[in-house]
Structures are given as structure tokens and as C-alpha cells.
Chains A and B, each alone.
Chain A
Amino acid sequence: MTLYGAIFYLLGIIILTATGLAVTRRQPVHAVLYLVVAFLGTAALFFLLGAPLLAAFVVIIYAGAIMVLVLFVIMLLQRSPQELRLLSKWGPATLLGVIFLAVAVAMVLKDSGSGIVLQGAVAQPRDFGRFLFDRYWLAVEIVSILFLVALVAIIHLGKRRDTEEIEKHPSPHPSPPRLPAGRQGGEGKGEGVNYHEEGHS
């Protein structure tokens, strides 16, 4: 076994252990922390398999941005259920999944192509970026549009709807009567601003 092989198996053990611990935790915070370890191991694995740019992206996007986002949302929500589902509900589905995994493992082991030993090669970030924008520039643009769509959807979802809030929890301070137009500030300037100031005073 070469040095690279030893590193691969070590990384594989780290990733499997961290992922296994993450998916069995009841507390989502613990799960996220173990998952950060798993993603850092994945980044090292990408580096080993010759994708340094992707390794950097995994560290920045997965382990950095996404996991911190998940942590923030976990802190935002107070009551989160910690018990698992009943085994009778998800057991059959998992059993089928295990059978599927066994078949897949058998296929991989039987396939003659899977015995081919990987040759080390590195896609330099410069070459990779050039390749990406040379041949897949349209896909890159589509991905940026996807992000824009997601951004608009998130803003729409995160907007607090006032009517809904009033319906659910009627606020202790009833909304003040609308002021006569003469007492408001500028013409085009926010009606809402004066409205709120008046309500609190």
C-alpha cells in the first residue's frame, strides 16, 4: 500500500465515523459539528483525488457557509423534536435500501473496471477554471440564475406577513387609528414610519 493509499483509507475512516456519528445524534447542533468534521475530511479527500479547487470550495461553502447557516436556524428555533421515528415506520424502507446497497456493492466488486488503480493527477485550478468557462459557461450562468431564484424565494418566505400574525396572536396593543393626512410627514415619505412611531408613543 502506498502512502497515498494509506492516507485515503485514513480519510475514509474519519469521514465514515464522523458521518455515522452525525446521523445518529439527537441534538441537531451535535450533528452539525460532526458533519463539519466529515466535510473537512471530504475536502482532504478531494485534494488527494486531484481537485484542489473543489477542496477549497467544499471548505468554504459546505463547512463554512452552509453549516453556519444551519447552526443559526437551529438557534432560531426553540422547540425541536429529538426523538426518532418509530422503527416500524421507516424500517421497511431502510431494509429495501440496504438490499439495494448490497446489490450495488456486489456490482462494484464484480465489475472488472473497479479494480483499476487510480493514477494520481491534479487538475490545476487555473486549468479547471478555464475549462469550466470555456465549455460550460452556459451552465454557470444557469446556476447563477438558480441562485437568484432561490434568493427571491427566500426573501418571499422570510417576509413576515402582518395579517397572518394578527390573526394568530392578536397583539396586545391594538393598532392605532390611522392619522389624518395632514399630520403625517412628507407626502411620499413612509406612511409606515409615522404609523409605528405613533403606535409606540
Chain B
Amino acid sequence: MIVPLGHVFLLAGIIFSMGLVCLVAHRNLIMTLIGVEVMMNAAAIAFVAAALRWQLMEGQAFVLFILAVSAAEISLGLALVVSVYRRTGSIDPDRYDILKW
């Protein structure tokens, strides 16, 4: 007997929207990636709560895959950030205009 399921979902939803704001508000590619991480974290919390609610382990297995995908995503994203920084000297996505003419 811990808490109602809805409270965990509310917590996850608030964290998810925080990550969304972080994603769109910052002019820094690293902060964008951090926002994506926060959103994945919120999704993982919701999955674990659902796994406990229905007493099934599928939810926890899915959290493991979320973890793996998020690790791959952040490492690839950071490699892209470093690559684009080498190419343009900036990590502000508003200043990329190579494809503009």
C-alpha cells in the first residue's frame, strides 16, 4: 500500500512537461539533449508504476529497453553535437545556416 496510481502518473506527467519546456526553451544543443533525457525518465517512472499496478514484469522490461535506447540516443546525440561544433564553431541551433541560400 503505497500511493494511488494517479499520483505517480501526475508526477511523471509534470516531469515530462518540464523536459518538454527544457527542450524548446534553450538555445543550447546540450540542454536540448538533457530535456530529452528528462522526458525519457518520466516515461520510465510511468512504466514502473504501471508494472506495479498490474503486477506484471513487462513494464519493468520495457523500462530496461527505454534505458538502453536513451543511452544510445544520448551518446549519438553528443557525437553529433561535437561533430557540428567542429564544423560550425557553435552549438546554437539557431545559427546553423549551411543549407540556407
Contact = CB atoms under 8 A, between A and B. Distances in A.
Contact of A8 (B3, B63, B64): B3
> What secondary structure prevails in chain A residues at the interface with B?
helix
Nearest to B60: A51
Contacts, number: 234
Contacts of B55: 119, 121
B78 A15 contact: no
Interface in A38-84: 38-39, 42, 45-46, 48-51, 53-54, 57-58, 61-62, 65-66, 69-70, 73-74, 76-77, 79-84
Interface stretch (A103-111, A171-179, A184-192): A103-111
Contact of A85 (B8, B27, B30, B71): B27
A104 B57 contact: no
Nearest to B63: A54
A157 B17 contact: no
A82 B90 CA distance: 12
B28 A28 contact: yes
A158 B82 contact: yes
A128 B82 CA distance: 37
Interface string B27-57: 1101101110110010011001101110101
B44 to A, nearest CB: 7
A49 B52 contact: yes
A9 B3 contact: yes
* Shortest 3 CB-CB contacts between residues of A and residues of B: A114-B6, A23-B22, A150-B72
Interface of B: 1-11, 13-15, 17-22, 24-28, 30-31, 33-35, 37-38, 41, 44-45, 48-49, 51-53, 55, 57, 60-61, 63-65, 67-72, 74-76, 78-83, 85-87, 89-92, 94
